[in-house]
Amino acid sequence: MTTQIIEPYRHEIIGGKGSIYYRAHSYHTKVPPEGIVPMIEHYTRPDAVVLDPFCGSGMAGVACLMTGRNGVLSDLSPAAVHISTGHTARPDPLCFAQAARRLLDDLAMLESELYDTPCISCAGEARTEYTVWSDTFTCPACDRRVRFWDAARRPDGTLDKTLHCPACRATFRKSDVKIGPATPVLVSVSCPACRTREQRPLTQAEATTALHDHRADISDWYPTAPLETWREMWRGQHRDIGIITAADFFTGRNLRALGAAWRAANESSEPTAMRFAMTTIVNGASRRYQWSPKRPTDVLSETLYIASLTYEFNSAKSLVSCASTPGPASCSTTVTTQCGAALSGGGR
């Protein structure tokens, strides 16, 4: 039965960026599903099939689940299909919780190896929540190796565009120096015994762990797609700091943790949900998370920029906060990697 809509939708469309659906996974273009719901309700009947041939993050599919419609989503981007599938999947909550628990249990020993550290107050077992990394460079005046952390920070913690060499007091701009390898400068540690969390300089043992060549220890798959110079988001900075492949956007420690998490997700009884949960933390686990003097904010969107001061978050800990909200059981979505022409029969 065909439904003909004569009167256009004339009301204000309202949607926010704070819902669990919108915040569940990052994507470079996204519309809040709450803003799509009234349009679907106005132009379609309950139980109708809604087609989105360029689905992106799948928010139209989420809107279908919220309104009792069935969705058919498609996109040429494998990333879009993965994210859309995750947003519209409806795993059983109990099965998801059990699979998540098993995944975290599988990663527990590796998390301990990578992120555990002795508490300096009680000597008990504590855990690294994040490490702050700083660029280094050679002072153009005295030729000494200098940390950006020491040269740019004002007494109040904010950053000065004019750098000051702590050795010879020479002043210069970041553009005047060649950036060298990053080094860890600050750690945030939580201790369950003391019930405290503190920020402090790294101990020698913590610095050794952070600087260890963890990539040499990786046995799991990790992405090695090249970042070619013709890509829109490529910048000279990537060449200067050694960003050649996708793997270079991560510290060796986090790359090892993420590789293990991806393997565990694929071996899970709920692989679709676990893969989606795992990829929600990838941006936050990367070197693109810029340090803030007040508190962690978020990864800069629509850019692959890596700041001179960055966070390295405990990737295993980040997985703990991942959760899934099943959609209504009375409707479904189908997600495919095709173009709109192929779905309509006009393509090959």
Mean pLDDT of 264-271: 94
What DSSP letter does each residue of 283-296 carry, written as one string? TTTSTT-B--SS--
Are 186 and 97 in the same domain?
Answer: yes
- Coil/strand/helix, residue 50: strand
Does residue 55 contact residue 75 with C-beta atoms inside 8 Å? Answer: yes
Domain that holds residue 81: 20-90+327-344
Are 138 and 200 in the same domain?
Answer: yes
Instruction: Indicate whether 100 pLDDT > 60.
Output: yes
Are 68 and 119 in the same domain?
Answer: no
- Structural domain count of the chain: 2
* Tokens 């010879």 belong to residue: 168
pLDDT at 221: 96
Range among 91-105, 141-155, 281-295, 310-324 with highest mean pLDDT value: 141-155
C-alpha to C-alpha distance for 275 and 105, rounded to whole angstroms: 16
pLDDT in tens, 235-255: 999 999 999 999 999 999 999
Q: What is the dihedral of CA 91, 95, 100, 105, to 10 degrees?
A: -160
Neighbours of 342 (CB within 10 A): 15
Are 82 and 122 in the same domain?
Answer: no
Are 67 and 137 in the same domain?
Answer: no
Does residue 276 contact residue 82 with C-beta atoms inside 8 Å? Answer: yes
* Tokens 């997985």 belong to residue: 319
Average pLDDT, the chain: 88
Output the pTM of the full model. Answer: 0.86
Percent residues over pLDDT 70 in the chain: 90
Q: What is the dihedral of CA 187, 192, 195, 198, to 10 degrees?
A: 0
Percent composition of the chain: helix, strand, coil (DSSP 3-state, to 5): 35, 20, 45
pLDDT at 333: 60
Are 185 and 162 in the same domain?
Answer: yes
Q: Does residue 12 fall inside a structural domain?
A: no
Q: Does residue 5 fall inside a structural domain?
A: no
Q: Does residue 3 fall inside a structural domain?
A: no
- Confidence category of residue 143, pLDDT binned at 50, 70, 90: very high
pLDDT at 343: 46
Are 126 and 253 in the same domain?
Answer: yes
Are 313 and 336 in the same domain?
Answer: no
Are 295 and 224 in the same domain?
Answer: yes
pLDDT at 334: 62
What distance separates the 2 farthest-apart alpha carbons in the chain? 81
Are 282 and 336 in the same domain?
Answer: no
Are 297 and 336 in the same domain?
Answer: no
Q: Does residue 117 fall inside a structural domain?
A: yes
pLDDT in tens, 288-309: 999 988 777 777 777 899 999 9
Q: Does residue 113 fall inside a structural domain?
A: yes
Does residue 285 contact residue 269 with C-beta atoms inside 8 Å? Answer: no
- Coil/strand/helix, residue 168: coil
What HEC string does 218-268 produce?
Answer: CCCCCCCCECCCCCCCCCHHHHHCCCCEHHHHCCHHHHHHHHHHHHHHHCC
Q: Does residue 9 fall inside a structural domain?
A: no
Are 154 and 216 in the same domain?
Answer: yes
- Strand residue runs (E) in the chain: 49-52, 70-74, 116-118, 125-138, 145-147, 162-164, 171-173, 179-191, 196-200, 309-313, 333-336
Q: Is the dihedral of CA 89, 92, 97, 103 positive or negative?
A: negative
pLDDT at 227: 95
Q: Does residue 43 fall inside a structural domain?
A: yes
Residue 270 backbone dihedrals phi, psi, to 5 degrees: -125, 65
CA distances from residue 157 to 125, 151, 172, 286, 294 in whole angstroms, order as listed: 29, 12, 19, 23, 8
List residues bridging with 217 in a β-sheet. Answer: none
Short-list 148, 130, 142, 153, CA closest to 202: 130
Q: Does residue 37 fall inside a structural domain?
A: yes
Mean pLDDT of 129-145: 95
- Could you tell me the CATH number of the domain that includes residue 66? 3.40.50.150
List residues bridging with 164 in a β-sheet. Answer: 171
- Confidence category of residue 3, pLDDT binned at 50, 70, 90: low
